[in-house]
Amino acid sequence: MINRLWCRDEREGPGPTLILLHGAGGSAHSFNGLWHKLKGLNRLAVTLPGRLQSPGDALTSVSDAVDWLLDQLSKLDMDGMVVAGHSYGGALAIELGLRSPSALRGLVLMGTGGRIRVHPMIMAMVEQAAQTGVTPPTPPGLWQPSTSPQLIQASERGAQQIPASSALADWQAAHAFDRMEDLGAIRVPTLVISGNADNLTPPKYARYLAEHIPSSRLVELEDAGHLFPIERAGDAAEAIRSFLASL
C-alpha cells in the first residue's frame, strides 16, 4: 500500500528491508511487476521528489538525491537495508554504498554502471519534452521486440504522469554521475544484474562493476534489455531472492 507521500511501503516482519530505487523519469510504480514478484519480502519503493505525490522539486544531482534519501530513510524504523536500484536508481545505490555502508546489508545494481553516459538522442528527446511539457515515449531500443504491447502501454501511461522537467533533471543527473574510480571502496555484498541485450547500459558496464566491487556477483539475463525489471520481473525477482537468502 501507499502510506507515505514518497514511498510504497510493505513491511510485514523482522529482517532487512529491500529499498527499490527507480530509473530516470520513473516512480515507485515503475516497479509494479517486480513489486508483486517480491511479495513476502519487506520492501519499500521510493518515489523521488518532483513527481506524483512526492513533495519538492526534482533533485538535480546524484549527491543531492542521496542526501534527500538518507534523510527520509532515517525517519523509518528498519532493521538494515538492501538497496536495489535500476539505471539512474543504480547510480543512487552505488553512491549510498560509498557514503553509508554501515546502514546497508547489501546492494543490488540493475542495468546500471559506475558511470552513466546518456545517448545524445535520448537527451535531446527529454530536453525537447521539458520545453514543450509533453512527455515523450520511451526512447527506441529500450523495449525488447517480444515485450507485450499491454505491458508497454501500461508503462507509458505511468511515464506520462511524471513532469517532463523532473524526467530531464533525472537524466541530467545520471549523465553527470561518475564513480568509476571509487567502486573498490564498496564493501557490502553486491549483486549486479544485467540484460545481455541492453543497449543503454551494455553488459560491459555490469562486468566492470562486478570486477571492481570486491564482494560482488554477476547475473546476466539472456535476451533481456535495459528494462528487464519490467519485462522480465520474474527473473529479476528470482535473482534478488537468491541474493537475499545468501546474506
Question: Block means of pLDDT (10 residues each) for the chain, length 247 residues?
Answer: 73 87 96 95 96 93 97 86 98 97 95 95 93 83 90 91 95 98 98 96 97 98 96 98 95
Long-range contacts of the stretch 26-31 (C-beta < 8 A, 24+): 26/86, 26/88, 26/89, 26/158, 26/159, 26/162, 26/170, 27/51, 27/52, 27/54, 27/158, 27/161, 27/162, 28/2, 28/52, 29/158, 30/86, 30/155, 30/158, 30/229, 30/230, 31/86, 31/229
Q: Output the pLDDT for position 133.
A: 86
Please report the pLDDT score of residue 139 as a whole number: 81
pLDDT of residue 4: 65
- Output the pLDDT for position 75: 87
The pLDDT value recorded for residue 13 is 75
Radius of gyration of the chain (CA): 16
First to last CA, the chain: 27
Which domains, ranges and CATH numbers included, belong to the chain? 7-246 (3.40.50.1820)
CA angle 109/114/118 to nearest 5° reads: 100
Its pTM surpasses 0.75? yes
Cβ–Cβ < 8 Å for 82, 19: yes
Give residue 53's pLDDT. Answer: 87
Q: What angle do CA 82, 95, 233 make, to 5 degrees?
A: 45
